Amino acid sequence: MPKTTTLGRVYVWEIPVRVYHWLNALCIVILCVTGYLIGAPIAIQRASEASFAYWFGKVRFIHFLFAYVFFFNFLFRLYWGWAGNRYASWRNFIPFRKRQWEEVKAVIAVDILQVDDQPIETIGHNAVAGFTYFFTFLAFLFQAITGFGLYAAMSKSWFPQLFAWIVPLMGGDFSVRQWHHVFMWFFILFSIVHVYLVFYHDYVEGRGEISSMGSGWKFIEKEYHPHMKEKTVAASKK
């Protein structure tokens, strides 16, 4: 008689986490597209006078607007790292416990090198994902600082001035702009890998990885989570 695995629903991603995630995704897409356009604008051959058009100004305005949304959304997520549930906790993002490092090794063996088939027990972020997000948070911070630092010179508002110190630190607008641009590619590469891995996990583990960021629920093998609600939806024999 093979072992029976019972799957149960676990509420992993609370509404604030989901809203943060999709707002963040929207911001990143818009900021990358507008940011790339600002770096390499499409040259329009037109006979009109400059006073009749403002499209590049609008592209830049959208970039600045979503930069604010992105930054405050990020700050909110940091706050939710303390206020949210165990899966949203800041502890997931820094592997300072032995168990997390063991999981890092296991994830590398199972999901990256694929030399092992042992199931990964984590319900929220696995240790590798969590640690990767830690670095994305650093990249968020870097983009926010360099972006607002560049913006400070053209703004009279007090808020961007809080970041003006980065310009002398990096030796001038030119290098700040250069690195702000380089980090855009980090976001693009991250997004490609992130979307792929979500599909991968859903495909291999069947826990509802993709839909979890819409509904909040994941389907977890009961043996890893004995206290989950008695709401069995499926079982599989092994």
What residue ranges bind other proteins (CB under 8 A)? Answer: 2, 39-46, 50-57, 59, 112, 114, 117, 153-154, 164-165, 167-168, 171-175, 177-178, 181-182, 184-185, 188-189, 192-193, 196, 200, 203-204, 206, 232, 234-238
Closest approach, Cβ 3 to other proteins, in A, equals: 10
Rounded to the nearest 10 degrees, the angle between the axes of helix 127-152 and helix 98-107 is 100
Closest approach, Cβ 235 to other proteins, in A, equals: 5
Closer residue to other proteins (CB): 14 or 205? 205
Closer residue to other proteins (CB): 80 or 224? 224
The whole-angstrom separation of Cα 174 and Cα 118 is: 49
**Burial (0-12, 13-18, 19+ Cβ within 10 Å), 40:** exposed
Whether 10 contacts 123, CB under 8 Å: yes
Closest approach, Cβ 82 to other proteins, in A, equals: 33
User: Which residues are within 8 A (CB) of 95 and not within 5 positions of it... i.e. 6 or more apart?
Assistant: 101, 104, 127, 130, 131
Closer residue to other proteins (CB): 46 or 98? 46
Closer residue to other proteins (CB): 87 or 219? 219
Closest approach, Cβ 155 to other proteins, in A, equals: 12
End-to-end CA distance of the chain: 9
Closest CA to 102 of 68, 127, 79: 127
Closest approach, Cβ 227 to other proteins, in A, equals: 21
Closer residue to other proteins (CB): 135 or 165? 165
Whether 218 contacts 208, CB under 8 Å: yes
